[in-house]
């Protein structure tokens, strides 16, 4: 069944319009002005046959995207990835080691759960993702103060990554 979902999955470009990607980028940028972390969104529509044959899980793919996009390469190791695997209806958060002990896995999971609930309730995916990113910024703002000059830490691009 998983193979069929991945073969029939719509492309990420069909799911996210350019306008919605721009709005999400703005949400990320605004959030990063409130805290000292870096947020990254990665969306993967489906997996290739090799990944499916290996039995790659959404968590494994999220960790791979975290490394591929160099989310770990931030000052203080405060990068956080929100990863969506559309064909599996999966949401994962991967937080860098600088956030261990500051934000719990349960808190990140609650963000994922609320995103899924909103989508099940028929909220457009892009809107639900923007709200989740806002929640993630709220968590980060509670533990990582923004730079004193009010500027967001620049390093990782705010534009979502469609893998």
Q: Is residue 65 part of a domain?
A: yes
Domain residue limits at 44: 2-11+37-146
| pLDDT score at 10 | 87
For residue 26, is it within any domain?
Answer: no
Number of domains in the chain: 1
Burial annotation 41-79 (CB, 10 A radius, 16+ → b, else e) = bbbbbbbeeebbeeebebeebbebbbeebebeebeebbb
The average pLDDT across 143-148 equals 83
What is the model's pLDDT at position 154?
A: 61
- Does the pTM of the predicted model rise above 0.85? yes
Share above pLDDT 70 across residues of the chain, in percent, rounded to a whole number = 94
Q: Is residue 74 part of a domain?
A: yes
Question: Does 104 fall in a domain?
Answer: yes
Q: What is the pLDDT of residues 91-130, one digit of tens each?
A: 999 999 999 999 999 999 999 999 999 999 999 999 999 9
- 153 touches 36 (CB < 8 A): yes
Look at residue 23 and tell me if it is in a domain. no
What's the CATH number where 140 sits?
3.10.310.50
Is residue 98 one of the residues assigned to a domain? yes
In a domain? residue 49:
yes
Contact present, 61 and 79 (Cβ < 8 Å): no
Residue 20 belongs to a domain? no
């Amino acid at each position: 069944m998983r193979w069929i979902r991945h073969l029939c999955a719509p492309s990420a470009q069909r799911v996210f319009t350019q306008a919605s990607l721009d709005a999400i980028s703005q949400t990320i940028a605004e959030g990063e002005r409130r805290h000292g972390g870096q947020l990254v969104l990665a969306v993967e529509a489906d997996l290739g046959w090799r990944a499916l044959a290996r039995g790659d899980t959404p968590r494994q793919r999220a960790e791979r995207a975290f490394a591929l996009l160099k989310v770990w390469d931030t000052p203080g190791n405060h990068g956080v990835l929100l990863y969506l695997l559309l064909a599996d209806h999966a949401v994962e958060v991967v937080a860098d080691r600088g956030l261990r002990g500051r934000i719990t896995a349960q808190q990140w999971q609650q963000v994922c759960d609320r995103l899924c609930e909103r989508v099940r309730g028929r909220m457009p995916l892009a809107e639900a993702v923007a709200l989740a990113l806002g929640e993630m910024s709220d968590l980060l703002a509670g533990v990582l103060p923004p730079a004193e000059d009010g500027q967001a830490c620049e390093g990782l691009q705010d534009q979502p990554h469609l893998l």
